Structure 1
């Protein structure tokens, strides 16, 4: 006879057609069987009846569950000391078969994480060349006609007439006539400094004929990125006439979340795909990691580099990239589907052998496509359940050595993507059209969300597309608790003093002799600037001394000016 009987629930789970008439008997791992000689003992009577799919639905007599299934009897059983601790359950072998219980091993191996993000194809700025004149002059002939024209190294770009170039040629002829080697060398250096080609200088020495126009050639092969001149244009030093970019290699700039920053290293392999060529992928690598984190979005900018020999990658194309981080060696891994994840606890169901199972709590780490890293709670070569573990866990958790889990398939927080239609500051609400949310079984919808106090409401703008986190509150309402906005590129800006030389009302440009820009290590120069549409040209006077602010866009654009001595703005930008 047993000393102290302990009550253990034995449940029979009848799972529709799959299980049929199979009965799942849940016992403690060290349940002491009644001695064979006691086989004639009285048949045990059920304590109560429960629904096979809901152990919380109990009745004192047989009947039907809310789902129309027969209630299952629960009997009193006694047990001895359990070597596996409380919470062990036992399932009949044929029912294990019917339930489709599958298992997998806890292994030690490498975890390979992938970081998915998006970016835009750009020119390789290391190979981007800007063409500027060294003298004042007029463009007589222009050999490239449009942005995107392909050019080969040494190809003629434009002919320039400049009195200064004519004088430099005459100085060479004077030196040649005097047969003064020092003067010849000095004149030759000046011609090279003015970017005249070696062939041109040699021809000048040979023919001793001064040319009124000088032809200038492209320093590299590539495509014309910007073209700011036409035949007849007057140009000066500092005028950006055009840019020549190469497409043999391209850059893609992306952003990754702060939590993924530690995984990024220079040289990591990257796989890129484009929407317009979905069947093709490109292999590249991480080329540069920017030194600072974006303070508002908590993202890190990363530059990727790709080979583009067939010129299929075009600047400004949207690219989807996957950065393959270094694998983590000698870490404990379990199949991804084996972990039961909740907001308060993560657990797996251990297969102990002989039909015995037990739920145990685990601490998880990183996750890849197939596995989850286990930091604590399991040992190598243990066996975990990878399917039907929720049924077993629901019974094991009743008496296991941790608080019973209330499994909720609906997570408390999810990230989704959407477009902002309106922002109401008074009530801290936004109206958003978001995409489907699989975790909550939501279709694409347009709806209002409250915005949590921890979110910067000023960062939300109408028409903005962003990722945002929505949390289900205890009150049953939904609240935006986090946002992620991809950072826009910063426009370089400088403020400097200068004197206006010329104002062109036709193309809204002014020629200014400006002072040096110390923060960019730029010497003083005379150059053209475009006036922003928000500034009236009437405020720009020839010979006027001004302090002005300009932005480096495709052109150098003045966005604010004031007179040097007035102390007040003569014009204000609309920015």
Structure 2
């Protein structure tokens, strides 16, 4: 009787165990058929993670924030998903949660502390009234409209030359040459004789008229009346402060009426010749403002307005020349100086501007990273116009008041790529759109990587290796599971084998392509 009771108890315990196992298998089969991708993802975890994380039912919630969690992952290996928090099997760090609202929203959200560590700065797109203009270079030249010539009106001889050579600086009223005029002696002596003889005023007036006709200066005639001595030398002086641009005589030379002895170029005003690129030739008009600065003293500004556009385009530099006069009363500038100029329009225009450093040019498109109202970051394709100082015009893609990232864009792109949320800037995504969370990086989607390792575990879905570094991916030594293309693939792979294997990245993680034995001991 007692034996029958023991047998009955054993049968009941065995039946309970069998029912529990059947229920577990049925639940597993149901979960696999309902969500095969999620099931495959769970199987892709490493042995350490699998043993520490068992499937759970119901919604997963972060205890700190109360937000719904899709899964946990290591940001350095984003395609490996875990259903519980814990320490990463790949790196010495804790797994990070991926929230449901983060995965569904466009863009990527980066923690404020991390943004501060990355040195991220923001700027606001603003519509401003700016002058239509451009930067150019210019050179200073003599103002030919203010050039003076020193000529001889009589026949004489140079008995002293004060100006030694061309391009010599000279002040206004400074002597240039002393001229001996022998023909002046006779009319002066005649005038003095008439004056001493008491001739009437009409005769004296006639004598003065004759001296003026012979180009005797009024100052010489006045000195003749005062001293009673004839004067045969006259000193020619500079009419303007500047330089002797031409000197055509030497000491002792004979000069004739109308001969140019010297040419004086003034320095109180200079011409500024602006070199305008050929592409902007049709936009330049007289009256446009010019703000010029010399590299030797950037604090000193010289301003003016374009007076005229010179005809013709230089065949060497392909530039059009515009000319204006600038004030040089302080004589700080000399001809031939190179100036940086800003040519502005007569009337300002409204432009949408952002800092130039906020714009990323990839070669195929121009992108800025925009911060949405919820704090998420996403790339937006823009069309840019002309630069205005440190800012650049945005023709399309942004609106007034949008916030853009002004620094740290490449760090944001790296952070987002690790999270697999923000598409790479080199992808062909439309403006304002973001890639799905599971989208792999473009550069690694079809590339194959190789390394060696020891097989730790083999299942129908994956093989776990303790492998050597993979420099192409920046990986060090680690233990990691790689998916199999099919359950029957690599039938000869056994735990303990040392193999050489190759893999590539797919939508569901890293998948093996070859596994070859290396003859290592188990």
TM-score by length of 1: 0.48
Q: Give the match for residue 291 of structure 2.
A: 270
Compared CA separation, residues 112 and 209, structure 1 to 2 (3 A):
same
Deviations 1:506-543 (A, max 9, x none): xxxxxxxxxxxxxxxxxxxxxxxxxxxxxxxxxxxxxx
- Give 3-state SS (helix, strand or coil) of 1:126's partner: helix
1:379 aligns to 2:399 (yes or no): yes
CA distance in structure 2 between the partners assigned to 1:120 and 1:382 by the alignment: 41
Kept after mapping to 1: 8 A contact 2:159/2:178: yes
- 101-110 vs 136-145, greater mean Cα deviation: 136-145
Q: Give the match for residue 517 of structure 1.
A: none
CA distance in structure 2 between the partners assigned to 1:97 and 1:280 by the alignment: 36
* 1:245 aligned to which of 259, 265, 270: 265
Q: Give the match for residue 213 of structure 2.
A: 190
Compared CA separation, residues 359 and 215, structure 1 to 2 (3 A):
closer
CA distance in structure 2 between the partners assigned to 1:407 and 1:198 by the alignment: 92
Deviations 1:72-130 (A, max 9, x none): 99989899997xxxx64444566555544432222111346875555554433333212
CA distance in structure 2 between the partners assigned to 1:149 and 1:383 by the alignment: 58
CA distance in structure 2 between the partners assigned to 1:146 and 1:110 by the alignment: 53
* 1:234 aligned to which of 229, 251, 254: 254
RMSD: 5.3
The within-5 A match list for 1:17-28 is: none
1:200 aligns to 2:220 (yes or no): yes
CA distance in structure 2 between the partners assigned to 1:382 and 1:187 by the alignment: 85
Q: Give the match for residue 147 of structure 2.
A: 128
Kept after mapping to 2: 8 A contact 1:153/1:220: yes
Q: Give the match for residue 369 of structure 1.
A: 389
Q: Give the match for residue 105 of structure 1.
A: 124
Which entry has the higher C-alpha Rg, 1 or 2? 2
- Give 3-state SS (helix, strand or coil) of 2:430's partner: coil
Deviations 1:474-510 (A, max 9, x none): xxxxxxxxxxxxxxxxxxxxxxxxxxxxxxxxxxxxx
Kept after mapping to 2: 8 A contact 1:111/1:328: yes
CA distance in structure 2 between the partners assigned to 1:93 and 1:274 by the alignment: 42
CA distance in structure 1 between the partners assigned to 2:181 and 2:221 by the alignment: 16
C-alpha displacement of 1:373 = 0.9
Kept after mapping to 1: 8 A contact 2:71/2:81: no
Compared CA separation, residues 76 and 43, structure 1 to 2 (3 A):
closer
Kept after mapping to 1: 8 A contact 2:241/2:267: no
1:401 aligns to 2:430 (yes or no): yes
Q: What runs of 5+ residues in structure 2 fail to find an aligned partner?
A: 1-33, 39-56, 62-67, 83-87, 436-440, 444-522
1:360 aligns to 2:383 (yes or no): no
C-alpha displacement of 1:338 = 1.7
C-alpha displacement of 1:364 = 0.9
Compared CA separation, residues 152 and 75, structure 1 to 2 (3 A):
closer
TM-score by length of 2: 0.52
Kept after mapping to 2: 8 A contact 1:116/1:320: no
C-alpha displacement of 1:234 = 1.9
The within-5 A match list for 1:45-124 is: 88-91=107-110, 95-96=114-115, 98-111=117-130, 118-124=137-143
CA distance in structure 2 between the partners assigned to 1:407 and 1:240 by the alignment: 78
Structure with higher helix content:
2
C-alpha displacement of 1:384 = 1.9
- Give 3-state SS (helix, strand or coil) of 1:353's partner: coil
CA distance in structure 2 between the partners assigned to 1:383 and 1:234 by the alignment: 79
The within-5 A match list for 1:332-347 is: 332-347=352-367
- Report the number of matched residues: 358
- Give 3-state SS (helix, strand or coil) of 2:267's partner: coil
Compared CA separation, residues 138 and 94, structure 1 to 2 (3 A):
closer
C-alpha displacement of 1:71 = 13
Kept after mapping to 1: 8 A contact 2:276/2:322: yes
The within-5 A match list for 1:146-545 is: 146-147=165-166, 148=168, 150-153=170-173, 157-161=177-181, 163=183, 179=202, 187=210, 190-191=213-214, 194=215, 196-202=216-222, 212-237=232-257, 239-261=259-281, 262=283, 266=287, 268-275=289-296, 278=297, 281-286=300-305, 288-292=307-311, 293-303=313-323, 305-316=325-336, 318-323=337-342, 325-326=344-345, 328-390=348-410, 391-392=412-413, 395-396=422-423, 400-402=429-431
C-alpha displacement of 1:377 = 1.7
Compared CA separation, residues 245 and 93, structure 1 to 2 (3 A):
closer
Kept after mapping to 1: 8 A contact 2:122/2:403: yes
C-alpha displacement of 1:332 = 1.0
CA distance in structure 2 between the partners assigned to 1:189 and 1:376 by the alignment: 76
Structure number with the bigger relative contact order (C-alpha 8 A, sep ≥ 6) is 2
